[in-house]
Amino acid sequence: MGETMNHHQSSTGAVLKFSFSINLLLYTMVVLLTIVSTGTPPEQVVHVILKLDEENIPFRKTNNMFLSTALDSVLIAHGFQNFNMSDPKLVKLMKPLAPGYLRIGGNMADRLWFDPSGKFVSKTQQVIESDGGACANEEIDCDVYDRPNFTMTAKEWTQLNSLAKKAGLTILFDINCLIRFPNGSWNSKNAEELIKFSADRNFSIIWQLGNEPNAFRHVFDYEVNATQLAKDFAKLRSILNRYPIYRKSELVGPDTTRPIIKRNASMAYLHEFLLHGKNVINAVTWHQYYFNGRNASISQFLDPEVFNLLQTQIGYIKDIVKSAGATSKPIWLGETSSAYGGGAPGLSNSFVATFMWLDKLGIAARNGLDVVVRQTLFGSNYSLLDENLQPLPDWWVSVIYKRIVDSRVIPCYPTSSTTVRIYCHCTKKRIFSFYSPFVVVFGLNVKKSPMQIKIQGYQGYVWEYSLTSKGSLVSKDILLNGEKLSLANDGTLPDLDPVLVNAHPYLQMRPYSLTFWIIPLHTSSCPI
């Protein structure tokens, strides 16, 4: 196979140099001539120009922890029901997501008390959404009694850290922001107990303070203004600096909700916080969901206009960061999934949600976001694993993405298509048996008919990973190149092998599919 690949690489080098330098008019003529000569309807052809040049190496570069995941604090509040932290299978399912952060946070983070003695254990069996739901995202006042205080014991905290370490993940812990003195300032005593306990045991952690503070009034009937929160972050930074292990530990925030022009309270809050707190944080974090899971429809999961909301919202966040003079700070999606309110039942945990998830990863990386924290690994309707620790479709997509896609983003320009989304990166430096990065073109087709993809200037062979559903778009099964993906009984992954296909005259993207193509090109945009 390697000999075939080398032959095609050498034979296309000259063509690539020519094709990347053509102007728009000539490119349009090439497209039209191709359509005429092949008889393929223009709406079924997407041409992709890869821009590989030495002046832009790379176009963007994300954090190597870019795709991260989370365990919601509600899992702790419920006493880790159906979640055995010492289960070897769980570790096997988390390892393929490394390196990455394991965020321990969410709506109930601001109800969590650390109990080092284990003498004051308090849990709840109330049904609690794993995110702020409509309360936070639609600014609806909710009943504060639906979210009671609870404790996390020293034993549970130690088990969480042990789990993360075994899986190769770094914990991002969200400290309770709502333990307050009568004057409104943050009472850090319980946080200091947690930090000291952690430092004494050399736990590797990065930190947050509070979850969606702009929505506290709606969720908890309590307000912490952004200026005060910035002071609280500075206080937390000074506490962390007392411990050598956490002196260089990152502190990120403020984890505001998605920006919405019609209701701009979250945008104003973020701006004010950054004006006063940008010097004490290492990254700007915000949360993003597309719609309410309680009334979501399958059409929303297939609608490119819905996908485009993220692009618009990233633009708003960047404008706020710039106006606050915080452009030196990386931007993270600190919590994100498809639908708020715990996800859409039967949709957020099915194959149809994979389109939105892969598109989010593509848009976020292309726009220079450093980290995307997926809500959540376990629990709720948007989890990566079900209640029996069986992988759901988004888990498989995440694992394949982690295995193939590197942090370096390559500019690529697909011709206009409303139903096909295309993104381009370098591959990981070691792919298959080669120790050399190639180019990966990946994307999705949310159309019920196949689409033809033409990589301009390349006519050789590529490795293909084609992901489709098993019969129904709401199936919880996923197929790789026509074969159902499943774990061995002990949780061991299958081989996840691609197939070799010819890119000439076209690559085919199946109806309602996600595809990764590895193109064996050596380029200065993807240096070793």
Q: Which of 374, 406, 438 is the last residue of a domain?
A: 406
With respect to residue 528, please indicate whether it lies within any of the assigned structural domains.
no
Looking at the fold, whether 351 and 370 belong to one and the same domain comes out as yes
Per-residue pLDDT at 41: 54
Shared domain check, 475 and 351: no
Residues 326 and 345 both lie in one domain: yes
Per-residue confidence (pLDDT) for residue 26, from 0 to 100: 38
> In this structure, which amino acid lies at residue 256?
T
The answer on 490 and 395 residing in a single domain is no
**How much is the pLDDT for 58?**
64
CB atoms within 10 A of CB 271: 18
pLDDT at 145: 58
Q: Is 223 a catalytic residue?
A: no
The greatest distance separating any two alpha carbons of the chain, rounded to the nearest whole angstrom, comes to 78
- Is 11 part of any domain? no
- Predicted local distance difference test score (pLDDT) of residue 10: 40
User: Is 527 inside any structural domain?
Assistant: no
State residue 443's pLDDT score: 98
The answer to whether position 83 is within a domain reads yes
20 located within any domain: no
* pTM for the full predicted model: 0.90
Q: What is the pLDDT of residue 144?
A: 61
Residues lower than pLDDT 50 in the chain: 1-39
Verify that 340 and 433 share a domain, yes or no. no
Are both 373 and 449 inside the same structural domain?
Answer: no
In this predicted model, what pLDDT tens digit does every residue of 220-273 receive, in sequence order? 989 999 999 999 999 999 999 999 999 999 999 999 999 988 778 999 999 999
- Residue ending a domain, choose from 406, 429, 458: 406
Residue-number span of the structural domain to which 138 is assigned: 62-406
- Residue 291 to residues 109, 152, 372, 381, Cα–Cα distance (Å): 22, 31, 18, 14
CATH number at residue 401: 3.20.20.80
Residue 452 pLDDT? 96
358: which 2 tokens?
Answer: 């892969």
Tally of CA atoms within 13 A in the half-sphere of 164 that contains its CB = 24
- The answer to whether residue 15 is domain-embedded is no
Q: Is 333 in the same domain as 427?
A: no
324 and 246 housed in the same domain: yes
377 contacts 330 by C-beta, under 8 angstroms: no
Same domain, 108 and 219: yes
Active-site choice (129, 212, 272, 464): 212
Q: Is 156 annotated as catalytic?
A: no
pLDDT digits (tens, 9 = 90+) for 180-232: 999 999 999 999 999 999 999 999 999 999 999 999 998 998 999 999 999 99
Q: Which of 129, 139, 250, 335 is catalytic?
A: 335
DSSP string of 137-160, one letter each residue: HTT----GGGS--EEEEHHHHHHH
User: Among 373, 390, 406, where does a domain finish?
Assistant: 406
Question: What's the number of domains the chain is made of?
Answer: 2
Instruction: Using DSSP, state whether 464 is helix, strand or coil.
Output: strand
